[in-house]
Structure formats: structure tokens, C-alpha cells
């Protein structure tokens, strides 16, 4: 069954579901209408039985006041399909109609019980010959007990119900067939926009993510689906553009030290040189190799963070991390004439990874030192803001244009020209910080102005 469902198209399944539901509804309605028709026919028969019983009682049948022929003339055509019997004390028949034709009409205990209170009794009984009849028992007197029993066969009712069943047997399959045809047409019309979207989506590839699914302007579910898919394609386009730009920038950053390394080796091999010159070449080459290793490590770290790799989480005292970053900053600032100091600190604990958080703070401190002139200062502080821990790294450096503040968190972005500084680097430091903060469910922001300095703020949820 599961394989069959997999092999059927959505259009076919919708048609079958529509036909199945409609069939169930038609069957329920048909059964209900059959029941109501049967009930109506029996109610009509009961009315005739009551009418005949009243006429027989008023005519005094069994008391020789009037004959059956007179009663037949009074009732007219109704009397042809109805038979009666008058029962005297002890259940002895006193009179009966010719239409009874030897039928034995039972006098049930229920009819006797209801007769004590003067109530008539309607019953559906089956006679010994298998005949199905509707029977009315009317009490005439209680002491001695006398009854009038009026009955009618179910033949007319059965014929009417059989005709109705024959009509249903023809109309239900015909209606179901027409419904399946209409359901198939409706399913095809409803799914035609989906087919159009599918054809358009198949033409969208990684080389061309600019195509978009057409909107019909109806604002229905299919338009909402197209809008959702278009938004997804836009995100994919931005992601692919970012990856391509990242790859180009990474290749450019790798090419420079490799070119320098290759040039130094080629120069050293052009002629015989003394050992001191070879050592100089090796020393220079080692510096380039170390730069390449650092760049490769930064790229790997950034890739892992961008892939949302789960970081190990445990309770981290940010005060300790801050102290370690200050110690490292003091060593980095040695020889630059920049003061690195610790500001106000409030003990807080967060859930995260100690080493990566330390890496983020060290990167911020290193960045602040690079862009702060001699005599300036870099200050780190820690405070609690509601359910957040706020770490700030402030400097009195050259600052930047606030319009460029968001760009500095992108990989390989450097604003050296704008800052008027010659700082060597690949432009990955702040991007790594931003990725580390996001991996800790935090937020990184910067407030800056040219010639005033910058203040970077890391907000992390408290443990």
C-alpha cells in the first residue's frame, strides 16, 4: 500500500481522496434519506390504519350495527389494502374483513398492557407465512376486553423502498463518476501553478540564482509558497555570493605571502651565496610561512564558526577571561606606547567556551592597540545589564566612519585607508569575534567616530 501511494501523483491522490470523501458523504446521505423515506411511508400507513380503525369502531362492526360493505363504501379505495378484525372477550373473533384472508393477527402482551390505559399500539410484525405487516391494536372496552386490530401489508412500502434503492444504485455511481472527473479537473487546475513553479525552480542553479518564481497576485497559499521560495533563493544567492567572495579574498590573501616566499627562494637559487645570506632567506621565508599558518588557522576557525558547529558549553567566569585578555593586551602593547588597563568589573557567569571567548576579547584588544597611537589607552570593563553580561573594549584610537561600522565584521574587510593607518593583517580578526559572539547566542556592536575612538560591546546571556 505504501509503495502504491508513492507511485501515485499528487493529482491522482487528490482526485481519489475527493472521490472517497464524496462517496462516504453520498452513502451517509443515501442511508439517512432511505431511513427518512421508510419512516415517512410507515407514518402514512399508520395514519390510514388509525382512520380505518376509527371508522370500524364508529360503525359498530361486531355489534351488527353496520356491515363490512357499508364500511367499504365509507372508506372508499383505502379499504382495499387494509384488513381488520374485532376481538371479543377471551380473544374470540367477533368480526373480520374479507381482506384478512385467513391471516392470524397476534395480540401481543404490549398491546394488552397499553389497552388497560386506553392507548392504541402500533407494531410491525411478521406473520407465520412470512408476510410483513403493520398492525394497529385499538382497545374498545376494558371490561370485558374488546379490541379492534387493523393491519396493512408492507408490499407498497417495500416496492417504494425498492424503487428508491434502484434509483440510488444508478445515481450514486453516476454521481461518483462525474465527481471523479470534476475532481481530476479541479486538481489539475489547482496544481497547474505548482507545475509552473516546479519548471521555474528546475531552471535555477548555483550559477544563476537570480531567477525568481512568478507571483499570480492572488495572495493565496500558492503565492505565499512562491514568496517563501523566492526568499530562500535570495538567501542562497547571498550565501553563494558570500562564499565566492570569501574564496576570492582568501586566494588573494594566500597569494601575497606565497608570491613573496617564492620570490625569495628564486632569488636565493640564482647564484651561489654565503651561508649568512641563505639564513636571511630562510628567516624571511619562515616569517611568510608563519603568516600563512596563522591565516590558514583563522580561515579554519571562521569556517567552523560559520558552519554553526556546536561549541562546548560550561560555566565561564567572564572576570577571569577579562583578566587574561588584559594580561595578553599588556604584552601586545609593549613598545607601542599604548596603555591597556582594566575598568569597572562586575562578576558574572555565562555558559560558553572559555578559549573561544578569550580569543574574541584578545582579538578586540589587539585590534584596538593597532589603531591607537602612542599615548592612547585601551580599557576593558564588565557589567551586568538585566539578564545580559556586557563586555566593552574601548580605545582612544583613530575611530572610523559610523557608516562603515557594519562592514568591519565581514571577512577580509579593512578600512586602513579611511583610518590613515598602515596595519598589516588579513581582515579576519573582527569577523572571527563576530562569529564567536553569535555562536554564544550573543550580540556584538560598535560605537565609533573619526578621531574619537571606538567602543566594542559584547552582550552575552547570563548563566
Average pLDDT rounded to a whole number, residues 309-314: 72
pLDDT the model gives residue 264: 79
Last residue of a domain, one of 111, 128, 159: 159
Give the other-Cβ count within 10 Å of 10's Cβ.
Answer: 11
Q: What pLDDT band is residue 278 in, cutting at 50, 70 and 90?
A: confident
pLDDT the model gives residue 244: 72
Looking at the structure, tell me whether residues 361 and 445 fall in a common domain: yes
Q: Is residue 298 part of a domain?
A: yes
Q: Is residue 186 part of a domain?
A: no
pLDDT the model gives residue 113: 83
pLDDT at 298 over 90: no
Q: Is residue 358 part of a domain?
A: yes
pLDDT the model gives residue 330: 92
pLDDT the model gives residue 165: 92
Q: Which residue has the higher pLDDT, 316 or 295?
A: 316
For the chain, the average pLDDT equals 81
pLDDT tens-digit series, residues 52-95: 888 878 777 655 555 566 666 666 665 667 888 888 776 677 78
Q: Is residue 204 part of a domain?
A: no
Looking at the structure, tell me whether residues 274 and 323 fall in a common domain: no
HEC readout, the chain: CHHHHHHCCHHHHHHHHHHHHHHHHHHHHHHHHHHHHHHHHHHHHHHHHHHHHHHHHHHCCCCCCCCHHHHHHHHHHHHHHEEEEEECHHHCEEEECHHHCCCCCCCCHHHHHHHCCCCCEEEEEECCCCCEEEEEEEEEECCCCEEEEEEEECHHHHHHHHHHHHHHHHHHHHHHHHHHHHHHHHHHHHHHHHHHHHHHHHCCECCECCCCCCCCCCCCHHHHHHHHHHHHHHHHHHHHHHHHHHHHHHHHHHHHHHHHHHHHHHHHHCCCCCHHHHHHHHHHHHHHHHHHHHHHHHHHHHHHHHCCCCCCCEEEEHHHHHHHHHHHHHHHHCCCCCEEEEEEECCCEEEECHHHHHHHHHHHHHHHHHCCCCCCEEEEEEEEECCEEEEEEEECCCCCCHHHCCHHHCCCCCCHHHHCCCCCCCCCHHHHHHHHHHHCCCEEEEEEECCCEEEEEEEEEEC
Last residue of a domain, one of 120, 135, 159: 159
The CATH number assigned to the domain holding 254 equals 1.10.287.130
pLDDT the model gives residue 28: 92
pLDDT the model gives residue 417: 41
pLDDT the model gives residue 323: 93
pLDDT at 357 over 70: yes
The CATH number assigned to the domain holding 39 equals 3.30.450
Q: Is residue 173 part of a domain?
A: no
For the whole model, what pTM was predicted? 0.51
**What residues contact residue 54 under an 8 Å CB cut-off, 6+ apart?**
none
**What residues contact residue 268 under an 8 Å CB cut-off, 6+ apart?**
277, 278, 281
CA 292 – CA 296 distance, rounded (Å): 6
159-173 in b/e burial notation, b at 16+ Cβ within 10 A? eeeeebeeebeeeee
pLDDT the model gives residue 407: 78
Looking at the structure, tell me whether residues 6 and 138 fall in a common domain: yes
Best mean pLDDT range from 12-21, 285-294, 324-333, 423-432 = 324-333
C-alpha cell belonging to residue 178:
462525474
pLDDT tens-digit series, residues 397-418: 888 888 777 778 777 666 654 4
pLDDT at 150 over 70: yes
Q: Is residue 212 part of a domain?
A: no
Domains identified in the chain, total number: 3
CA 38 – CA 32 distance, rounded (Å): 10
C-alpha cell belonging to residue 320:
577571569
Domain extent at residue 146: 2-159
Asked if 254 and 274 count as a contact pair (C-beta separation under 8 A), the reply is: no
pLDDT at 19 over 60: yes
pLDDT the model gives residue 326: 93
pLDDT the model gives residue 420: 46
The CATH number assigned to the domain holding 424 equals 3.30.565.10
Q: Which residue has the higher pLDDT, 316 or 294?
A: 316
Looking at the structure, tell me whether residues 361 and 254 fall in a common domain: no
Q: What pLDDT band is residue 192 in, cutting at 50, 70 and 90?
A: confident
Looking at the structure, tell me whether residues 355 and 279 fall in a common domain: no
Last residue of a domain, one of 306, 335, 363: 306
pLDDT at 132 over 60: yes
Please state, for a pLDDT cut of 70, what percent of the chain lies above it: 85
pLDDT at 36 over 90: yes
pLDDT the model gives residue 418: 41
Q: Is residue 194 part of a domain?
A: no
**What residues contact residue 339 under an 8 Å CB cut-off, 6+ apart?**
333, 376, 377, 378
In degrees, to the nearest 5, what angle opens at C-alpha 121 toward C-alphas 118 and 123?
170
Q: Is residue 115 part of a domain?
A: yes
Least confident window among 109-113, 284-288, 314-318? 284-288
Radius of gyration of the chain (CA): 49
Amino acid at each position: 500500500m505504501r509503495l502504491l501511494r508513492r507511485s501515485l501523483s499528487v493529482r491522482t491522490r487528490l482526485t481519489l481522496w475527493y472521490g472517497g470523501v464524496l462517496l462516504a458523504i453520498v452513502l451517509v446521505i443515501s442511508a439517512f434519506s432511505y431511513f427518512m423515506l421508510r419512516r415517512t411511508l410507515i407514518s402514512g400507513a399508520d395514519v390510514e390504519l388509525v382512520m380505518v380503525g376509527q371508522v370500524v369502531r364508529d360503525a359498530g362492526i361486531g355489534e351488527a350495527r353496520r356491515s363490512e360493505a357499508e364500511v367499504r363504501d365509507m372508506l372508499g379505495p383505502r379499504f382495499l389494502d387494509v384488513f381488520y378484525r374485532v376481538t371479543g372477550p377471551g380473544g374470540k373473533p367477533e368480526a373480520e374483513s374479507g381482506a384478512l384472508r385467513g391471516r392470524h393477527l397476534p395480540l401481543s402482551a404490549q398491546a394488552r398492557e397499553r389497552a388497560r390505559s386506553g392507548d392504541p399500539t402500533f407494531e410491525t410484525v411478521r406473520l407465520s407465512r412470512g408476510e410483513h405487516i403493520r398492525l394497529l391494536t385499538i382497545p374498545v372496552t376494558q371490561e370485558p376486553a374488546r379490541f379492534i386490530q387493523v393491519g396493512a401489508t408492507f408490499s407498497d412500502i417495500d416496492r417504494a423502498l425498492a424503487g428508491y434503492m434502484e434509483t440510488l444504485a444508478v445515481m450514486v455511481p453516476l454521481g461518483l463518476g462525474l465527481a471523479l472527473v470534476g475532481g481530476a479537473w479541479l486538481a489539475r487546475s489547482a496544481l497547474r501553478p505548482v507545475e509552473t513553479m516546479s519548471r521555474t525552480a528546475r531552471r535555477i542553479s548555483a550559477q544563476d540564482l537570480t531567477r525568481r518564481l512568478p507571483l499570480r497576485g492572488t495572495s493565496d497559499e500558492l503565492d505565499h509558497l512562491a514568496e517563501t521560495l523566492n526568499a530562500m533563493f535570495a538567501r542562497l544567492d547571498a550565501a553563494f555570493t558570500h562564499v565566492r567572495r570569501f574564496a576570492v579574498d582568501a586566494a588573494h590573501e594566500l597569494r601575497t605571502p606565497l608570491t613573496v616566499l617564492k620570490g625569495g627562494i628564486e632569488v636565493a637559487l640564482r647564484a651561489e651565496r654565503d651561508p649568512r645570506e641563505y639564513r636571511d632567506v630562510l628567516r624571511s621565508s619562515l616569517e611568510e610561512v608563519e603568516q600563512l599558518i596563522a591565516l590558514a588557522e583563522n580561515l579554519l576557525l571562521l569556517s567552523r564558526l560559520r558552519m554553526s558547529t556546536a561549541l562546548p558549553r560550561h560555566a565561564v567566569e567572564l572576570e577571569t577571561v577579562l583578566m587574561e585578555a588584559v594580561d595578553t593586551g599588556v604584552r601586545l602593547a609593549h613598545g607601542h606606547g599604548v596603555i591597556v588597563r582594566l575598568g569597572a568589573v562586575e562578576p558574572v557567569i555565562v555558559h560558553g567556551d572559555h578559549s573561544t571567548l578569550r580569543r574574541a576579547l584578545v582579538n578586540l584588544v589587539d585590534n584596538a592597540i593597532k589603531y591607537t597611537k602612542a599615548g592612547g589607552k585601551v580599557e576593558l570593563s564588565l557589567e551586568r545589564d538585566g539578564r545580559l553580561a556586557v563586555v566593552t573594549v574601548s580605545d582612544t584610537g583613530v575611530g572610523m566612519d559610523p557608516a562603515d561600522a557594519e562592514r568591519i565584521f565581514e571577512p577580509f574587510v579593512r578600512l586602513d585607508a579611511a583610518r590613515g593607518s598602515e596595519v598589516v593583517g588579513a581582515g579576519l580578526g573582527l569577523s572571527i569575534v563576530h562569529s564567536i559572539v553569535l555562536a554564544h547566542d550573543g550580540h556584538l556592536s560598535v560605537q565609533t567616530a573619526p578621531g574619537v575612538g571606538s567602543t566594542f560591546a559584547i552582550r552575552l546571556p547570563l548563566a
